[in-house]
Chains A and B, each alone.
Chain A
Amino acid sequence: MTLVAFLFYFFIGTAALSAIVLLFLKNIFHAALALLTCLLSLAALFILLQAEFLAVSQILLYAGGVVILIIFGIMLTTKAGGQAVPITNTGLLPGLAVGAGVFFLLLFFVHKSLFALPSSAQETIVNNNIERIGIEILTDYVLPFELAGVLLLAVLMGAATIAGFKHVKN
């Protein structure tokens, strides 16, 4: 087993493990940390799948943005000074059953290759993916790119407005 292959399966393992742990944790702060682990492992997998730009974005956006945001959210919604409220589940067994059903179905699709998924990667000759992705975004995908900019602006204002709105008791 080469080092690359070892890393590949190692990160698959950490991603899967942290996701499973996330499902059963009782402390919401620990859950956020498990999510962070999972997302970082995914970033590592992105590098191994030759999506370096996405890996960097993953770390910046998720690890640096979303998880921090979630942790702030946890701090703001926990009762001040008190112990963190333990997470409880509702309808765990039916939920797990449905989840298992979905998992089974997805595995079935993968196994039967219903959507004609090639199982092995073709070797990429081009190694400068970051440059190519930049060109793609500013040529073929320039409209969605600009729209994403508008969306981000709208979200910025919208989130600020919603979160800043004070409920007035009358």
Chain B
Amino acid sequence: MSLQSIYILSALLFSIGLVIVLVKRNAILVLMGIELMLNAANLNLIAFNKTVPASLDGQVFALFVMVIAVCETAVGLAIILQVYRHYHTSVPDEINELKG
């Protein structure tokens, strides 16, 4: 039961989340990718906390990350809904208002 494997899992989850954010042509899936990345970070925080049993800082941090991730999902989905209503698509590529 070494923590090494947890770190590797966390690295894998983070990379997969990143790839999803980069390549998927659907805003909801991009949101899922972000969730995955946040969870990878959380996993790491909890694993680090195992190495210092006297303190619970890592777990408390993970808790706050979780709360904020939930907030972010809620607002993100609200924005996606509104964008969908406005542009009739949830494909981020087709929304290029930022085009300079």
Interface string of A102-138 (1 = CB under 8 A from B): 1100110010000001111111111001001100110
With A23-B16, A46-B46, A99-B15 already in contact, the answer to whether A39 and B7 are too (CB < 8 A) is no
Q: Which of B22-60 contact A (CB under 8 A)?
A: 22-26, 28-29, 31-32, 35-36, 39, 42-43, 46-53, 56-57, 59-60
Instruction: Report yes or no: A20 in contact with B16, Cβ–Cβ below 8 A.
Output: yes
A9 to chain B, nearest CB (A): 7
Known A53-B59, A95-B22, A120-B2; further 5 A-B contacts with Cβ < 8 A = A35-B35, A46-B46, A98-B19, A103-B12, A163-B78
Question: In this complex, what residue of A is CB-closest to B51?
Answer: A118
- How many Cβ-Cβ contacts under 8 Å join chain A to chain B? 224
- Is A82 close to B, CB under 8 A? no
- Tell me the B residues contacting A by CB distance below 8 Å: 1-20, 22-26, 28-29, 31-32, 35-36, 39, 42-43, 46-53, 56-57, 59-60, 62-64, 66-71, 73-75, 77-82, 84-86, 90, 93
Is the contact region of chain A dominated by helix, strand, or loop, or is it mixed? helix
Instruction: Report yes or no: B70 in contact with A19, Cβ–Cβ below 8 A.
Output: no
Q: Chain A contacts of B93 at CB under 8 A?
A: 90
